[in-house]
Amino acid sequence: MRTRAAVAVAAGKPLEIMEVNLEGPKFGEVLVEIKATGICHTDEFTLSGADPEGLFPAILGHEGAGVVVECGPGVTTLKPGDHVIPLYTPECRECPSCLSQKTNLCTSIRATQGQGMMPDGTSRFSMLDGTPIHHYMGCSTFAQHTVVPEIALAKIRDDAPFDKVCYIGCGVTTGIGAVINTAKVEIGAKAVVFGLGGIGLNVIQGLKLAGADMIIGVDLNNDKKEWGERFGMTHFVNPKEIEGSVVQHIVNMTKTPADQIGGADYSFDCTGNVKVMRDALECTHRGWGVSVVIGVAPAGAEISTRPFQLVTGRQWKGTAFGGARGRTDVPKIVDWYMDGKIQIDPMITHTLSLEDINKGFDLMHEGKSIRAVVVY
Ligand code: NAD
Ligand code: AHE
Ligand code: ZN
């Protein structure tokens, strides 16, 4: 069949909207009509050329929601008409990682996914002249139709709006999951969130749900103060507007008469900047501070700190997709949204057509959007 897609033809170039060929689903695969997709900073990271796994041409997009059109042979858990969210972290429930119950990082198809291919090592997408186009993160939601392995689809309820719950395909789950699954934040905690974008605001929302007392947001953009406050941020810091280091500033803010050491119980990097990651670790409390890396950093970037920071009890952790097991957890998060337990609508600041998808990237660069969503 043919479908419309925004194709990343080369690093650093705008996406090109075109008709592409899409082969039907093979064994264990499912053809999905994408109804809506968010634009995440990770799409921009790969499009920019900073992603060591970036491949071109490719159909990017990994934050979608849609409807099953056709199931390939061997598919048993989905049928045409089911509403689904594609998962860049699949859940096969059979690989050593899934069976370990220690991680959400299913390894069953990670190698071919990283090569921009379906599990059999081939692509379903091609240009009209026959040139193969890579899949992206196993999802390729910047196409009106896509093929996704069955194990990488979460079946969701039929009454959830696609243009909102698509955000659960990455940003919402990553932010809230980082708090609940990875950091396991407890009631009364003091936490710091670096970067108040589409992920950071969901970390704030998660911290509020978890019952944190002090939620400090850090961003270079003062417009983000009001955004953070809408979701539960109690204090805002713009590192450009303080005296001295952001680490010392946060340590001072978290001191109490009874605790003159100071430091946050938890911190979260939602910027992808390795200097920020260091600050995020070093502003946590001696003895027990936990810092969670969420941001993804360019090829060649490395994090550093004095080992003393770890010797004295701080822990560095990382999280992908908020530690969520997609097929199990995503339908529950959709229920939380439908039951009013979490907010999504206010964070979707812009709705665009596929033709205008490059405007979504412009809005992100200008710091004007939280999430831009393409509706097909
Ligand atoms: P975004 O562009 O919406 O937000 C980034 C925010 O960080 C902006 O508000 C920006 O002003 C702020 N910022 C930039 N540099 C800063 C600095 N030095 N100090 C303080 N604030 C700074 O991006 P997003 O969609 O929220 O994504 C954030 C990061 O998370 C990206 O690196 C993205 O690739 C990554 N991400 C990771 C996962 C995961 O599973 N680990 C999932 C989704 C996104
Ligand atoms: N290809 C990049 C890695 C990017 C990365 O870490 N991706 C996250 C999801 S970001 C979603 O917006 C992830 O899931 N990582 C786990 C994995 O298996 O990729 C690079 O740096 O090579
Ligand atoms: Zn993402």
270 assigned to active site: no
Query: Which pLDDT score is estimated for 306?
Result: 98
> Is 327 a member of any domain?
no
Among 36, 19, 10, smallest CA distance to 357 is for 36
92 assigned to active site: yes
Query: Which pLDDT score is estimated for 219?
Result: 98
The H or E element that residue 55 is part of is none
**Quick check: CB of 196 below 6 Å from ligand 1?**
yes
**Quick check: CB of 167 below 6 Å from ligand 2?**
no
> Is 335 a member of any domain?
no
Residue 202: which CATH number? 3.40.50.720
pLDDT digit string (tens) for 54-73?
999 999 999 999 999 999 99
Query: Which pLDDT score is estimated for 122?
Result: 98
95 assigned to active site: yes
Chain position carrying tokens 């001072």: 252
Q: Ligand 2, atom 9: nearest CA belongs to which residue?
A: 320
Q: Which residues surround ligand 3, an ion (CB under 5 A)?
A: 40, 42, 170
CA distance 119 to 107: 12
Query: Which pLDDT score is estimated for 195?
Result: 98
**Quick check: CB of 87 below 6 Å from ligand 2?**
no
Any idea which ligand is nearest the CA of 292? 1
Catalytic one of 139, 170, 270, 283: 170
**Quick check: CB of 43 below 6 Å from ligand 2?**
no
Same domain membership, residue 298 and residue 355? no
> Is 328 a member of any domain?
no
Query: Which pLDDT score is estimated for 358?
Result: 98
Query: Which pLDDT score is estimated for 54?
Result: 98
Q: Ligand 2, atom 16: nearest CA belongs to which residue?
A: 320
Phi, psi for 45 (deg, rounded to 5): -60, -45
Same domain membership, residue 296 and residue 220? yes
Residue 28 banded pLDDT, cuts 50, 70, 90: very high
Q: Ligand 1, atom 25: nearest CA belongs to which residue?
A: 41
Give the total number of structural domains in the chain: 2
Q: Please, are residues 297 and 271 in contact by the beta-carbon 8 Å criterion?
A: no
Same domain membership, residue 185 and residue 219? yes
Residue 10 banded pLDDT, cuts 50, 70, 90: very high
> Is 31 a member of any domain?
yes
Same domain membership, residue 188 and residue 155? no
pLDDT digit string (tens) for 308-354?
999 999 999 999 999 999 999 999 999 999 999 999 999 999 999 99
Catalytic one of 71, 106, 166, 270: 106
135 assigned to active site: no
Same domain membership, residue 204 and residue 152? no
CA distance 86 to 66: 8
> Is 291 a member of any domain?
yes
62 assigned to active site: yes
Residue 45 CA: nearest ligand 1 atom is 34
CA distance 322 to 194: 16
Domain end, chosen from 285, 304, 319, is at: 319
Q: Please, are residues 348 and 164 in contact by the beta-carbon 8 Å criterion?
A: yes
Residue 124 banded pLDDT, cuts 50, 70, 90: very high
C-alpha 112 – ligand 2 centre gap (Å):
14
Instruction: Report the SS3 class of residue 202.
Output: helix
Domain of residue 116: give its range: 2-169+344-375
Among 119, 120, 145, 142, smallest CA distance to 57 is for 142
Chain position carrying tokens 């970390």: 203
Same domain membership, residue 197 and residue 130? no
Same domain membership, residue 145 and residue 28? yes
C-alpha 279 – ligand 3 centre gap (Å):
23
Catalytic one of 29, 41, 91, 319: 41
> Is 162 a member of any domain?
yes
Same domain membership, residue 127 and residue 202? no
Same domain membership, residue 186 and residue 163? no
> Is 330 a member of any domain?
no
- Side chain identity, residue 217: G
Catalytic one of 29, 63, 91, 150: 63
Same domain membership, residue 255 and residue 113? no
**Omega within 30 of 0 (cis) for the link into 57:** yes
Same domain membership, residue 165 and residue 18? yes
Residue 261 banded pLDDT, cuts 50, 70, 90: very high
DSSP 133-160: EB-STTT--SBSEEEEEGGGEEEE-TTS
Instruction: Report the SS3 class of residue 366.
Output: coil
pLDDT digit string (tens) for 275-315?
999 999 999 999 999 999 999 999 999 999 999 999 999 99
> Is 331 a member of any domain?
no
Q: How far is CA 129 from CA 14, 361, 372, in A?
A: 20, 28, 31
Residue 74: which CATH number? 3.90.180.10
41 assigned to active site: yes
C-alpha 284 – ligand 1 centre gap (Å):
20
Instruction: Report the SS3 class of residue 235.
Output: strand
**Quick check: CB of 55 below 6 Å from ligand 2?**
no
Same domain membership, residue 184 and residue 55? no
DSSP E strands: which ranges in the chain?
Answer: 2-7, 16-22, 29-38, 64-71, 83-86, 125-126, 132-133, 145-149, 153-156, 190-194, 214-218, 235-237, 266-269, 290-293, 315-318, 348-352, 371-375
Residue 275 CA: nearest ligand 1 atom is 18
